[in-house]
Structure 1
Amino acid sequence: MAAANNPGAPDHIGTTTQPMFVISEAPVIEGFTPSSRSREETFQEKFKRKTKENPFVPIGCLGTAAALMYGLRAFKQGKTRQSQLLMRGRIFAQGFTVVAIIFGVFATAIKKD
């Protein structure tokens, strides 16, 4: 009767609420197959697997880092010509790395189909 007089008062005082639905198993998503791995990969395992899948990406990254380091060293020593050449090499290595990443993505997409 109090709820009828007061429209803002809850009318379920003293009752417990049950969930609307209970999920007993994982949902099935069409076109998706769950990973067969039973445990998480460590960073080293994932790095080795990814390097085997596309070895040109780490090579490009190392080339980029090396050109940058030597270019900065040459710049600090005042060797402007050598520094400019190494910075151009760094740009080339970065481009190589981006192309390797794109190629790896397309190769993986084609391989899974």
Structure 2
Amino acid sequence: MAAAATPAAPEQTPKTSASVSVPFDLSQPPVIEGFSPLPKVKDETLKEKFMRKTKENPFVPIGCLGTAGALMYGLRAFHQGKTRQSQLLMRGRIFAQGFTVVAIIFGVFATALKPKQ
């Protein structure tokens, strides 16, 4: 019988990181031929962005505040044992959430239909 031959493993050479060169600078954005990105006007702070978005669609923050208020008062009433008032406030919370969702959808459609500047 013939003895089974073991396959020879290919020689593995260790790769050094010193010999690897990076073909481009990772700290800069890539240069794409025929593409020029629009320049950034300015970075907005969180407060500036919140104020701009609130002016564009003021019903979303109103709905969020209504939802949070109804939730807080409903939980407080539930904790105090006022089940009737708690149920009414939880229903009000659902209404406020629906109002907020409709306001968001309305804002998305209004933004999509607004002509580009």
Give the structure-1-normalised TM-score.
Answer: 0.71
Which stretches of structure 1, 4 residues or longer, exceed 2 Å deviation after superposition?
Answer: 15-20, 23-29, 33-36
Letter in 1 for 2:69: A
* 1:68 maps to which of 68, 71, 90: 71
Partner in structure 2 of residue 34 of structure 1: 38
Letter in 2 for 1:79: K
Distance 2:62 2:98 in 1: 12
Give the direction of change, closer, same or farther, for the CA distance of 1:95–1:41 in structure 2 (3 Å limit).
same
- Listed as ranges, the gaps of 5+ residues in structure 2 are 1-10, 13-18, 25-29
* 1:92 maps to which of 84, 91, 95: 95
Distance 1:47 1:16 in 2: 46
Matched position secondary structure for 2:81: coil
Matched position secondary structure for 1:112: coil
Give the structure-2-normalised TM-score.
Answer: 0.69
1:15-61 C-alpha deviation (Å, 9 max, x unpaired): 997849xx6577527xxx73651x21000000000000000000000
Give the direction of change, closer, same or farther, for the CA distance of 1:99–1:24 in structure 2 (3 Å limit).
closer
* 1:44 maps to which of 20, 43, 47: 47
Distance 1:94 1:35 in 2: 38
Give the direction of change, closer, same or farther, for the CA distance of 1:35–1:105 in structure 2 (3 Å limit).
farther
- Listed as ranges, the gaps of 5+ residues in structure 1 are 1-7, 10-14
Distance 2:20 2:97 in 1: 61
- Residue identity over aligned pairs, in percent, reads 69
